[in-house]
Amino acid sequence: METKKLATGAAPRKLGEYLSRTREKTRMHAVHGAGGAQSVREDSYRGHAIEIITTYNILVDGKKIRAPLGVDASGQVHCHSLPNYQTASAVDMVRALVDGFPEEFEQKPARAKSRPPASRKSRPVPARKSRPAAKKGSKHEH
């Protein structure tokens, strides 16, 4: 690699121009990934063409999240928003997203109620979680 070309390309003006030009590709990808990322896995087996199309629709606290999750041929889940993770399940990836983007999952403070709270007996039963939260140091299939 020529040192002169390297110095020219490193100039902030040149890098800025390049990034501005590349923006359109990025925008197109973001649209692709907005809440409905689709993974297509293809294989052939005993003369049969296999095509598996996976789309994730993810709700957290009842709200749809716009994370571009994908799954590769080995079934590992990946998300461009957390580029250094690869998880064995989409649930683990969503947990990592909650940790990585805390602002996007902040609970709004509950409104003050005009009536007295319901008695313990009449409160709804909390939804049962599918499994306990991962512990620190657990195997990191990220």
Partner 1 sequence: MSAVRRNILKNIDVRDQYIKGVKLLKKEASGRTTDEFGIPGAARSVSTYDLFVIWHVTAMMVETPPGNPAQRNSAHRGPVFAPWHRVMLMLFEQNLQRVLEDANFGLPYWDWADDGDLPAQQQSAAAIWRADCMGGEGNPVSTGPFAFHASDPSGFRVRISTNISGELRSVNRGLRRAFGVSTDALPRTAHVAKALALPAYDAPDWDAGTNCFRNCVEGWMNDEGVSETWLHNRVHVWIGGEMLLASSPNDPIFFLNHCNIDRLWESWLGQNGRAYVPDMTAGAALKGHRIDDPISSPLGRSATPRETLDVSGIYEYDALA
Site residues, partner 1 (CB under 8 A): 1-3, 5-7, 9-10, 12-20, 22-23, 25-27, 29-30, 32-35, 39-42, 65-68, 70, 72-74, 76, 78, 80-86, 88, 96-97, 99-101, 104, 136-137, 139-142
Q: Given the DSSP bridges, would you call strands 59-60 and 63-64 parallel, antiparallel or unpaired? A: antiparallel
Chain length of the chain? 142
Q: Which residues contact 84 (CB under 8 A, 6 or more apart)?
A: 142
Burial track 6-33 (b if 16+ CB lie within 10 A, e otherwise): eeeeeeeeeeeeeeeeeeeeeeeeeeeb
Q: Minimal distance in Å, beta carbon 107 to partner 1? A: 16
What is the rounded CA–CA span in Å between residue 81 and residue 100? 9
- Measured from the CB atom, the residue of 83 and 132 that comes closer to partner 1 is 83
- Measured from the CB atom, the residue of 13 and 123 that comes closer to partner 1 is 13
- Measured from the CB atom, the residue of 29 and 57 that comes closer to partner 1 is 29
- Measured from the CB atom, the residue of 14 and 118 that comes closer to partner 1 is 14
Q: Minimal distance in Å, beta carbon 126 to partner 1? A: 25
Q: Minimal distance in Å, beta carbon 36 to partner 1? A: 11
Q: Minimal distance in Å, beta carbon 131 to partner 1? A: 18
- Structure-block tokens of residue 60: 């957290």
Q: Minimal distance in Å, beta carbon 47 to partner 1? A: 21
Quote the strand ranges of the chain, DSSP E. Answer: 38-45, 48-55, 59-60, 63-64, 69-71, 77-79
- Measured from the CB atom, the residue of 83 and 126 that comes closer to partner 1 is 83
